[in-house]
Amino acid sequence: MRFGVRRILAAAVVGALGAGTMAAPAAAATRVTYVNVSAGVKARWGVGAAVRALDRYAGSTARFGPCRSGAKCIVIREARRTPCDRYTRAGWAAGCADLAHRTWLARRYTITLNPRLRDPGDRSRAARHELGHVYGLAWHHAGDCRLMMYPTTRCPDGRPTLGRLTSADLRRVRAN
C-alpha cells in the first residue's frame, strides 16, 4: 500500500506525541476529524448529514465539538462575507473553504457559509461541496452539474445539483 509523505510524517509526530496512549492498530485505521460548529449553523446548513456522508466515503470519524491539539479540525461558521466572494460574478459566494493554511502539521480548516443562501436544499448542497474541498477535493470543481463538486448549487437550467462523486473523487477523499 502506498502512503504519502504527509501521512507518514503525521503518523510519526502523533506517535511521538502520544506514546503510550495510541489506540490498538485496528482502531488506529479510523481517522478522527473534529468539527467545531454551532448548533444553529449545523441545523440550518445540514452539516451533520453532510459530515456523516463524507465520513462514509473517507473512512474517517467526525466528532462534533471544539478542536483538539494535533487532530484535524474543521471550523464551520456563518458570515455574510466570505474569502471567496471576490471570485464570483454575483459578488458573493454561498460558501468558502479556506485551505490556505493546509499543512501536515496545521490541520485546521475554516469553512464560511453565507446566510444569503436561503433555500435549505441549496444550503445542504453548499455545505457538502465545501466539506468536499476539506476532505481532499481541494481545488477541484466539476464541469458536470450532477456532481458534488459543481461550483454552484444549481444546474444552468435551474435544477438542483445531485451531489454525486466520481470514482476519482472517491479515491482523492479516501487518500486525504
Give the domain CATH number at 58.
Answer: 3.40.390.10
Burial class (CB in 10 A: 0-12, 13-18, 19+), 85: middle
pLDDT at position 42, please?
94
Rounded to two decimals, the pTM is: 0.75
**Averaged pLDDT, 15-44:** 61
Domain, as residue range, for 120? 5-175
Count: domains in the chain: 1
pLDDT at position 51, please?
92
Question: Cα-flanking dihedrals φ and ψ of residue 99, to 5°?
Answer: -110, 15
Q: Nearest to residue 104, comparing CAs of 19, 2, 3, 13?
A: 13
Is a pLDDT exceeding 90 seen at residue 113? yes
